Structure 1
Amino acid sequence: MAEGAALRAVRGCLAAFPREARELGWPESIPYLDRPPSPLEFYREWVSPNKPCIIRNAISHWPALKKWTSAYLREVVGPKVVSVAVTPNGYADAVFQDRFVMPEERQMPFMDFLDIVEKKVTSPNVFYVQKQCSNLTEEFPELICDVQPDIPWMSEALGKKPDAVNFWLGEAAAVTSLHKDHYENLYCVISGEKHFLLHPPSDRPFIPYELYQPATYHVSEDGSFEIVDEKTAEKVPWIPLDPLNPDLELYPEYAQAKPLQCTVKAGEMLYLPSLWFHHVQQSHGCIAVNYWYDMEYDIKYSYYQLLDCLTKTVKML
C-alpha cells in the first residue's frame, strides 16, 4: 500500500509539473524582438531562462536574402555533387512501421535536385537537402560568403562558436518529426516559411518515447522503396506521436500538453532553446540556415535529465 501511494504521489507531481512550469516560465505565444539583442541582454532574457523568441532585422544585411534565387544557386553550386535525403513519404528520421527509419542519403548533382524541387522533373519521392553536421561549411562553402560563419552576438553571449552551420532546402512534403536536441539553435529563414510546433522541456511527462529498431530506406531495382534494418545498431529512443494528428487513445497524456506554434518568415530568425521539442514543416522550396551552439551541461540540464528519468521509470511501473 505504501509503495502504491508513493507511486501515485510521484505520478501526480509529474502531471502537475508541466502546468506549474508554464505558469511560471513559458510564454503563451512566441514573442518577437524587433532587433537583435546585445549579448548580455540575450543571455539574461532568453538563453538563461530557456525561452524561445523570433528576432526580426537580425539578418537583413545578409546578401543571401536577395541573392539566393534558383538561378544563382544553379550558377554557384551547379553540377557539384551533394547529399540529399530521399524518402517515399517526406518523413526522414521518423517512426514508420514500428521502425526508426532514416532516409536514403543520395549523392546527386545539386542542379538535378533543383530540377526536382522546381518540378522540371517529376518524382514520386520526396527530396530534402537536410544533412546536418555543418553541411553549409562542408558541402556548400561557396555560399558562406552570403551569410555569416557565426552570429557574433550569440557567440559572445555563449563564449563559443557554433558546432555546426546547416543549410536546408526542400519540398513542402518534407517534415521533421517531433524531437529535441542539445543545442542552442538559431534558425534563419532565407526564403519561404518554416512552421514550428514547439513543446518546452517541462512537457516531457506528456510526450511518449519508445525504443525502435533503426532502419534505412533503400531504393529497390524497380524504383520502389524498401526498409532495411540496421541489424548491428542499438535501438533508438524516439517519439512515435504525430503532434498534428495525435492518437489520444494510444497516448492520452498528450491531451494535457499545450504546444506553441509559430511561423518564421523570410528574413526572420527563431531562437529555439536547447531541450525544446520541435516539429517542423515548410513552404515548398524554403531555404534556411541554422546555427547549432552546444548547450551548457549545467544544473538546468541535470534537472531535465531527472525529469526524463522519472518519467521513464514511472511509465515502466
Structure 2
Amino acid sequence: MASQKTIHVPIFTNVDRDVFLQDIYPGHKPAVLRGVYLGPCVDKWTVEYLGQKGGEKEVKIHVSTVPQMNFLQKNFVYRNISKLTMLHVDRTLPFNEFVKRTSEKKHSDFFLCEDESYYLRSLGEDARKEPADLSKQFPELAEDFHVPPFFDAHQFFSSVFRISSCGLQLWTHYDVMDNLLAQVTGRKRVVLYSPQDALHLYLKGDKSEVVEIDSPDQNLFPDFVKAARYECTLEPGDLLFIPALWFHNTLALQFGVGVNVFWRQLPVDRYDRKDSYGNKDPVAASRALQALERALHHLDELPPEYRDFYGRRMIQQIQKRTFVGCPSSTSTNTTTASSPSIKPA
C-alpha cells in the first residue's frame, strides 16, 4: 500500500520580527517558532486559573461523542450552552465548568456520553459580522498573552481563543489569511498540506472530504496519497506559522489551550466584507469560481466528446495563466523564494 511522503516542519529558534519577515515569511511555508515570548500565559493558564479568570461567562462550544470532529458530516452538537442545558433540567455550563470538563477524560456530568469531547473556538459578539478578539471576549486572559509582533497593527484581523479535549481532532481545511497558532498549554500534532496539492485533497469548499488522514480509504480517495504531508508536534509555548491557503488538520495530544492570530496580507477590499472567520475566498477568487461554474454549464449543452475536448482546453489555459512554476504563468512564484538563511534548530 502506497504511503504519503512526510516532511517535518522545520523548527526555528531565536526568531524576532526581522528574522521572521526576511528569512521565514518569504518562503510561504509552515515553520515552528520556538522560544518566542508569549507572555505569562504559558505558566499561568492552568485549569484552575482559567476557570477563575473566565468565571461563569457562557460560551458557545462543540460537543461530540467521538474525538474526530467532521464539519462536513456535522458529527457534533454546536449551539449556545444555555440552549444545551434544556436537555438537563437546572444544569448550566459556564466557562469555568467547561474548562473543568474539557480537562477530564471521563465526565460525571455530560450532554451526550461520559467520554464526549469538547471544543471551544471563540467568536465575536456578533459572530456573523465581527471577528474574534481575545482582548474583547476574554480581556482578563488577554492581559497574559502577548501577540507576536511579526506584522503591522493595521493588518490584524482576529485573535481566536481555542480550548480542546485530549484526543480531539479537527477537520482538514484552509484559511485565506496568514496566521500564527500559539500553543500555550498542552501538546498538539499538526498535519499540513500545500496549496499546490489541492487537487489531491478532494475538496468541498474550504474543507477536505478525507476525514481519516492517517488511514484514508484508498478506494474512495486514490489520489490523496500523492499529497505531501507536512507534520509537526507543538510543545507548550510554541508558535506555528500557517501561511494562507495551507491546509491543516490538528490533533490534541493533551488537553490544550491556544490562540490563533490572523492578519491580512492583501488590501482590505480584496476580502469578503462578511467574512468573520477568515475562511471565505477573496472577492476576485469567488467571482472567478462563479464564472467557471457558469462556463461549465455552457459545456453541458455539448455532447460528451466535445465537453471532454473543451474541458481540456480550459484546463490548459488555467495551467498557463495561474499554476505556480508553469513557464507561461503570469503569476508570481511565491514558493521559489530563497530558503531561510537561518538554520533550523
Tell me the TM-score normalized by structure 1.
0.70
Mapped partners of 1:36, 1:237: distance in 2: 31
Give the C-alpha shift of residue 239 in structure 1. 1.7
Give the number of the structure whose alpha-carbon radius of gyration is greater.
Answer: 2
Between 102-111 and 67-76, the greater mean CA deviation after superposition: 102-111
1:105 aligned residue (79, 96, 108):
79
* Equivalent residue number for residue 339 of structure 2: none
Mapping of 1:227-238 within 5 angstroms? 238=207
* Equivalent residue number for residue 259 of structure 1: 229
Gaps of 5+ in 1: 1-21, 211-235
Gaps of 5+ in 2: 82-92, 124-130, 271-280, 297-306, 313-345
Percent of paired sites with the same residue: 21
* Equivalent residue number for residue 233 of structure 1: none
2:100 aligned residue (111, 115, 128):
115
| Contact 2:51 2:100 (C-alpha < 8 Å) held by counterparts | no
Mapping of 1:139-218 within 5 angstroms? 139-148=137-146, 150-152=147-149, 154-156=150-152, 160-210=154-204
Mapped partners of 2:56, 2:257: distance in 1: 19
Give the C-alpha shift of residue 296 in structure 1. 2.5
1:70 aligned residue (39, 43, 47):
47
| Contact 2:63 2:76 (C-alpha < 8 Å) held by counterparts | no
* Counterpart residue identity of residue 215, structure 2: N
* Counterpart residue identity of residue 291, structure 1: V
1:241 aligns with 2:218: no
* Counterpart residue identity of residue 51, structure 2: R
* Equivalent residue number for residue 59 of structure 1: 37
2:14 aligned residue (23, 35, 39):
35
* Equivalent residue number for residue 89 of structure 2: none
Give the C-alpha shift of residue 160 in structure 1. 3.2
Mapped partners of 1:115, 1:142: distance in 2: 18
Normalized per residue, the structure richer in strand is: 1
Question: How many aligned positions are there?
Answer: 254
Mapped partners of 1:54, 1:238: distance in 2: 23
* Counterpart residue identity of residue 59, structure 1: Y
Could you list the per-position Cα deviations for residues 285-311 of structure 1 after superposition, in whole angstroms to 9, with x for gaps in the alignment? 21111101123279xx99xx69x96x9
Compared with structure 1, are the counterparts of its residues 53 and 254 closer, same or farther at alpha carbon in structure 2 (3 Å cutoff)?
Answer: same
Instruction: Please provide the CA RMSD for this pair.
Output: 3.3
Give the C-alpha shift of residue 137 in structure 1. 2.8
| Contact 2:34 2:237 (C-alpha < 8 Å) held by counterparts | yes
